[in-house]
C-alpha cells in the first residue's frame, strides 16, 4: 500500500465528507467526482471505493460498481460492505450466482443481520429455481405455457363489473380499452380471462413479426416515439391525455422498458398490448432490457404479475416478451432501438431483421441482441466496455459508420434517464428519449417524447410527473429493494 502522510489522510477525509453531502443531496455524478478526488489523495481507504460504488449503483453503472468493489477488497479483503455492494451490482445485472457468493460472505460475517440473511435466502432460492428450470430444459423440450391455457374454460363471475371482451368476436375494441384504463386508474384489475386473451393474442401476433419492423408516419397525422415508462402507469396515461391517444392518424412507438421499477407495470403493459391489438399498424412495441426474466425477477414485474394474477400469467408474459421485435426503422431514415449499437462495424439492417430472437429467448451477455438492448453512447470516439457491465459504449464514429452502412439519417434510443427527458448527441445523429418523469419517485427528471410529422420533422416535448396512488416503486420486489439502493 502507498504510504500516505497524516496531512493527506486528513485532506482525503475532508473531500470524502464533501462527497457525502453531495450524495445525500442525490447529486451522484458530482459525488463520484469528489470520491475520486479523495481516492487520488489517499487510495488506501476501502470505504472511499464502496461509497463511489454506491453512487454508480444509483446511476445504474453496475460494471463500475463491481470494479470499485473489487478495488475495495484489494485494499481490505475483510471489508464486508464491498461484498454487499458487489452483490448489489451483480443482482442488478441478473447474475444471481455471483451475487450469492458475496451474500454468503456477508451473512456469515454478520449472522445476526436479519436483512442480510433474508437477501441471501431469497437469492439462493432464485439460483435453485434457475438451475431446476435449466435441468428441465435439458430433460425435455419445454412446452409453451400458451398451449396449456384454455381461455374458453375460464368463467367470468357474475360479480365482475369491469369491461368485457365480446365472447363471440374475441376482439378488443375502443370501449373495452377505455373501460380498462378507467378501471386501472381506480386501482382495479380486469378479469384474468381478458388479460389472458390480450397477452395470448399479442404473443401470436408477435411470433410472426421479424426482429426489425419498418414504420410509416401516418400521411395525415404523426408518429410519437416514447422511451422507458417503467411501470409508471399514471405518467404513462398522462402522455396520451396530453399528447393524444393512439388512433388511425396518430401512431405510437414505445421503445422498450414498459415494466419493472414502477409498481403499475401490469396496467402499463396490458394497456399497450390492447392498443396494439386495436391499432396493429399504428402502435409499435420494441423489447427493452427489462422485458427479460432476470430483470423481472429483481425489479418487481414478476412479483407484481404473481400478486395481481398468477405464476402462469408471468410465464406467458415472459414468452411474449421473447417475441417482441428488437428494433424499428422509421421511413427508411431513423433507426430506433432500446439500447444502442454493436461491438463491430458492418452490422446491417438485414442482419438485425434476421436475429432469431424467439429461439434465443433471453438476450444473454453478448451478441447483437444483447447489444441492441444494453449498449449506451459515449462522447469519446471508439468503443469501450459498458459502465453497466453489459453491452458496450459507442462513440460518434461508431454511430456515423452504422448510419452510413445502412443509408440512415439518425438513431433514436432510450435506456438512460435524462434530466430533461432527452439528450441529442453524436453531432445530432443519436438521440436518447426517456419517458418516465421523476423516475422511481426520486430522481426529479422530466420525461420526454418525440413527435414526428410526415415531412420527418422532430418535435421534442417534455413533461413532468403527475400524482399517483401511494404505492412505492418496486413494491413487489421488497426483498431486494434495499440491496439495490431503493
- Domain end among 82, 107, 137: 137
**Would you say residue 246 lies in a domain?**
yes
DSSP designation for 453? -
Mean pLDDT of 24-35: 94
Most confidently predicted of 144-148, 163-167, 224-228, 478-482: 224-228
Tens digits of residue pLDDT in 153-178 = 999 999 999 999 998 899 999 999 99
Report pLDDT for 215: 98
CA 397 – CA 405 distance, rounded (Å): 12
**Would you say residue 159 lies in a domain?**
no
What mean pLDDT, rounded, does the chain reach?
A: 94
Query: Does residue 278 sit in the same domain as residue 345?
Result: yes
**Would you say residue 170 lies in a domain?**
no
Report pLDDT for 2: 72
Closest C-alpha to 362, from 181, 137, 170: 137
Catalytic residue among 191, 230, 250, 290: 290
Query: Does residue 208 sit in the same domain as residue 100?
Result: no
Query: Does residue 77 sit in the same domain as residue 202?
Result: no
**Would you say residue 160 lies in a domain?**
no
CA 179 – CA 89 distance, rounded (Å): 41
Which of 39 and 484 is assigned the larger pLDDT?
39
Q: What is the CATH number of the domain that holds 283?
A: 3.60.21.10
Per-residue DSSP letters for 288-329?
A: -TTSSHHHHHHHSHHHHHHHHS-HHHHHHHHHHHHHS-SEEE
Residue 333, C-alpha cell as written in the block: 431514415
pLDDT score of 478 more than 70: no
195 CB neighbour count, 10 Å cutoff: 24
Query: Does residue 318 sit in the same domain as residue 390?
Result: yes
Residue 98, SS3? helix
Report pLDDT for 15: 97
Residue 114, SS3? helix
Q: What is the CATH number of the domain that holds 76?
A: 1.25.40.10
- Please state, for a pLDDT cut of 90, what percent of the chain lies above it: 84
264 CB neighbour count, 10 Å cutoff: 28
With a CB cutoff of 8 Å and minimum separation 6, the contacts of 216 are 251, 330, 331
Report pLDDT for 140: 47
**Would you say residue 151 lies in a domain?**
no
Residue 290 bears catalytic tag: yes
CB environment 105-138: b (16+ within 10 A), e (fewer): bbbeeeeeeeebebbbebbeebeeebeeeeeeee
Report pLDDT for 144: 87
Query: Does residue 306 sit in the same domain as residue 370?
Result: yes
Query: Does residue 113 sit in the same domain as residue 195?
Result: no
Q: Which residues are 325's β-sheet partners?
A: none
Q: Which residues are 460's β-sheet partners?
A: 450
Query: Does residue 132 sit in the same domain as residue 186?
Result: no
- What's the residue count for the chain? 486
Query: Does residue 130 sit in the same domain as residue 224?
Result: no
Mean pLDDT of 372-389: 97
**Would you say residue 284 lies in a domain?**
yes
Query: Does residue 326 sit in the same domain as residue 442?
Result: yes
Query: Does residue 48 sit in the same domain as residue 189?
Result: no
pLDDT score of 137 more than 80: no
**Would you say residue 70 lies in a domain?**
yes
Tens digits of residue pLDDT in 348-357 = 999 999 999 9
Query: Does residue 11 sit in the same domain as residue 93?
Result: yes
Listed in sequence order, the DSSP H helices in 95-219 are 96-109, 114-139, 174-185, 192-207
pLDDT score of 138 more than 60: no
With a CB cutoff of 8 Å and minimum separation 6, the contacts of 61 are 387, 388
The range of the structural domain enclosing residue 446 comes to 182-481
Tally the C-alpha atoms within 13 A of residue 308's C-alpha that lie toward its C-beta: 25
259 CB neighbour count, 10 Å cutoff: 29
**Would you say residue 414 lies in a domain?**
yes
What is the total count of domains within the chain?
Answer: 2
- Cα distance between the two ends of the chain: 34
Query: Does residue 450 sit in the same domain as residue 311?
Result: yes
Which of 412 and 117 is assigned the larger pLDDT?
412
Mean pLDDT of 51-64: 94
pLDDT score of 270 more than 70: yes
Report pLDDT for 94: 85
CB 440 within 8 A of CB 473: yes
- Domain end among 101, 118, 137: 137
- Domain end among 137, 172, 204: 137
Amino acid at each position: 500500500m502507498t504510504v500516505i502522510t497524516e496531512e493527506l489522510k486528513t485532506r482525503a477525509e475532508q473531500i470524502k465528507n464533501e462527497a457525502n453531502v453531495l450524495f445525500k443531496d442525490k447529486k451522484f455524478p458530482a459525488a463520484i467526482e469528489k470520491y475520486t478526488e479523495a481516492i487520488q489523495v489517499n487510495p488506501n481507504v476501502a470505504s472511499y471505493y464502496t461509497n463511489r460504488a454506491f453512487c454508480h449503483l444509483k446511476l445504474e453503472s453496475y460494471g463500475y460498481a463491481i470494479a470499485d468493489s473489487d478495488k475495495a477488497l484489494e485494499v481490505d479483503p475483510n471489508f464486508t460492505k464491498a461484498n454487499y455492494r458487489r452483490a448489489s451490482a451483480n443482482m442488478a445485472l441478473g447474475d444471481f450466482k455471483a451475487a450469492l457468493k458475496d451474500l454468503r460472505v456477508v451473512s456469515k460475517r454478520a449472522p445476526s443481520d436479519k436483512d442480510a440473511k433474508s437477501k441471501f435466502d431469497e437469492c439462493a432460492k432464485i439460483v435453485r429455481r434457475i438451475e431446476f428450470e435449466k435441468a428441465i430444459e435439458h430433460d425435455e423440450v419445454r412446452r409453451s405455457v400458451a398451449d396449456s391455457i384454455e381461455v374458453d374454460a375460464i368463467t367470468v363471475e357474475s360479480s365482475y363489473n369491469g369491461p368485457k371482451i365480446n365472447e363471440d368476436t374475441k376482439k378488443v375494441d375502443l370501449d373495452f380499452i377505455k373501460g380498462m384504463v378507467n378501471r386501472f386508474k381506480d386501482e382495479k384489475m380486469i378479469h384474468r380471462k381478458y388479460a389472458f386473451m390480450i397477452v395470448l393474442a399479442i404473443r401470436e401476433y408477435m411470433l410472426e413479426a421479424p426482429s426489425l419492423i419498418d414504420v410509416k408516419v401516418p400521411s395525415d397525422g404523426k408518429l410519437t416515439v416514447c422511451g422507458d415508462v417503467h411501470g409508471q402507469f399514471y405518467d404513462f396515461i398522462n402522455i396520451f391525455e396530453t399528447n393524444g391517444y393512439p388512433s388511425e392518424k396518430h401512431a405510437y412507438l414505445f421503445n422498450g422498458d414498459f415494466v419493472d421499477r414502477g409498481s403499475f407495470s401490469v396496467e402499463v403493459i396490458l394497456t399497450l398490448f390492447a392498443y396494439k391489438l386495436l391499432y396493429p399498424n399504428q402502435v409499435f412495441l420494441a423489447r427493452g432490457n427489462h422485458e427479460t426474466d432476470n430483470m423481472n425477477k429483481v425489479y418487481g414485474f414478476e412479483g407484481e404479475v404473481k400478486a395481481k394474477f398468477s405464476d402462469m400469467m408471468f410465464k406467458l408474459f415472459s414468452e411474449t416478451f421473447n417475441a417482441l421485435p428488437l428494433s424499428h426503422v422509421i421511413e427508411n431514415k431513423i433507426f430506433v432501438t432500446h439500447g444502442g449499437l454493436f461491438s463491430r462495424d458492418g452490422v446491417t439492417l438485414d442482419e438485425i431483421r434476421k436475429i432469431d430472437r424467439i429461439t434465443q429467448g433471453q438476450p444473454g451477455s453478448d451478441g447483437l441482441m444483447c447489444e441492441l438492448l444494453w449498449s449506451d453512447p459515449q462522447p469519446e470516439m471508439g468503443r469501450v466496455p459498458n459502465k453497466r457491465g453489459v453491452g458496450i459504449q459507442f462513440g460518434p464514429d461508431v454511430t456515423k459508420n452504422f448510419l452510413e452502412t445502412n443509408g440512415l439519417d439518425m438513431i433514436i434510443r432510450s435506456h438512460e434517464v435524462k434530466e430533461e427527458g432527452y439528450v441529442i448527441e453524436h453531432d445530432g445523429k443519436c438521440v436518447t428519449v426517456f419517458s418516465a418523469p421523476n423516475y422511481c419517485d426520486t430522481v426529479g427528471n422530466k420525461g420526454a417524447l418525440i413527435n414526428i410529422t410526415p415531412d420527418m420533422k422532430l418535435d421534442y416535448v417534455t413533461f413532468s410527473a403527475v400524482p399517483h396512488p401511494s404505492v412505492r416503486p418496486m413494491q413487489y420486489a421488497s426483498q431486494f429493494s434495499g440491496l439495490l439502493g431503493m
